[in-house]
Amino acid sequence: MADPIGLRQRQLLELLLEHKKGLCIDELAKSLHISRNAVQQHISVLELEGYLQAGVLHKTGGRPVRRYVLTEAGINSFPKQYAWFSQLMLSDLKTEIGAEAFQRYMSKLGESLSQSYLYRFTGKSPDERKLELLKIMDELGFKTHNKVDPGSPEQNTIKAYNCIFHDLAQKHTEICKFDIAFMTALLEKDIELSECMAKGSGACCFNIINK
């Protein structure tokens, strides 16, 4: 994916990454070999995007100087290896406890997460519970339709168009047990995964089993 930050702006952020206490406009201009006005323009853009912020004023021998520091968004704009590290951990865990126990562990994680959302389902009808689940899934990044159509052929199907664990699920399909357990606990109905993006489908389809 292309970096949305321009080359000069990326260089500016890299300087601030190396100087956690921040740098002033003059220091940035000197390091980047550009004018103060150019630095100020880049700072305005990056500040507006939330990548950096003005720090406290520092008193020197002359006038007070404002230093700029990275925000959390600025720090997170640099490459991270969360998926790689997660893959390493999951592979080791699966080897350590075995495939069946690994599936049970994924289900347990899904059930554990559901506990923090149960309060949002109190007193709701089945359709209201499904709608609430769709809202939560969208909040988590699954990208669902976020609606309930009574009488529709797909009324008892939840489609997710983004798998938030896609890279991991391709290598560890047991991760789907997490989703199933999470949804089962919140809807209080059995869930069946009929299509899976990790296996090449265009969406993950979860069928709600009405008994």
Same domain for 138 and 72, yes or no, is no
State which H helix or E strand residue 175 sits in.
Answer: none
Number of domains in the chain: 2
Q: What is the domain range of residue 101? A: 82-209
Number of neighbours of residue 78 by Cβ within 10 angstroms: 11
CATH code, domain carrying 110: 3.30.1380.20
The token pair at 131 is: 């709608």
Q: Give bridge partners of residue 144 from the DSSP assignment.
A: 160
> 146-194, pLDDT tens digit by residue?
665 555 656 789 999 999 998 899 999 999 999 999 999 999 999 999 9
**Higher per-residue confidence, 210 vs 116:** 116
183 within domain boundaries = yes
129 within domain boundaries = yes
Residues 6+ apart with CB under 8 A from 53: 47, 68, 69, 71
Same domain for 60 and 146, yes or no, is no
Mean pLDDT of the chain: 90
Domain boundary among 51, 76, 101: 76
User: Helix axis angle, 25-32 relative to 36-48, nearest 10°?
Assistant: 110
CATH code, domain carrying 16: 1.10.10.10
The token pair at 169 is: 């699920």
Domain boundary among 48, 76, 104: 76
Domain boundary among 45, 76, 107: 76
User: What region does 151 belong to: left with phi over 0, alpha with psi -120 to 50, or beta?
Assistant: left
> 38-91, pLDDT tens digit by residue?
999 999 999 999 999 998 777 666 678 889 999 999 999 998 888 889 999 999
Same domain for 91 and 61, yes or no, is no
49 within domain boundaries = yes
What percent of the chain clears pLDDT 70, i.e. is strictly above it?
92
CA-to-CA distance for 21 and 60, rounded, in angstroms?
15
Same domain for 70 and 99, yes or no, is no
2 within domain boundaries = no
Same domain for 131 and 90, yes or no, is yes
- Burial class of residue 189 (count of CB atoms within 10 Å of its CB; 0-12, 13-18, 19+): middle
Same domain for 68 and 94, yes or no, is no
Same domain for 58 and 132, yes or no, is no
Same domain for 17 and 49, yes or no, is yes
117 within domain boundaries = yes
Same domain for 145 and 184, yes or no, is yes
122 within domain boundaries = yes
Q: Give bridge partners of residue 68 from the DSSP assignment.
A: 23, 54
pLDDT, position 2: 47
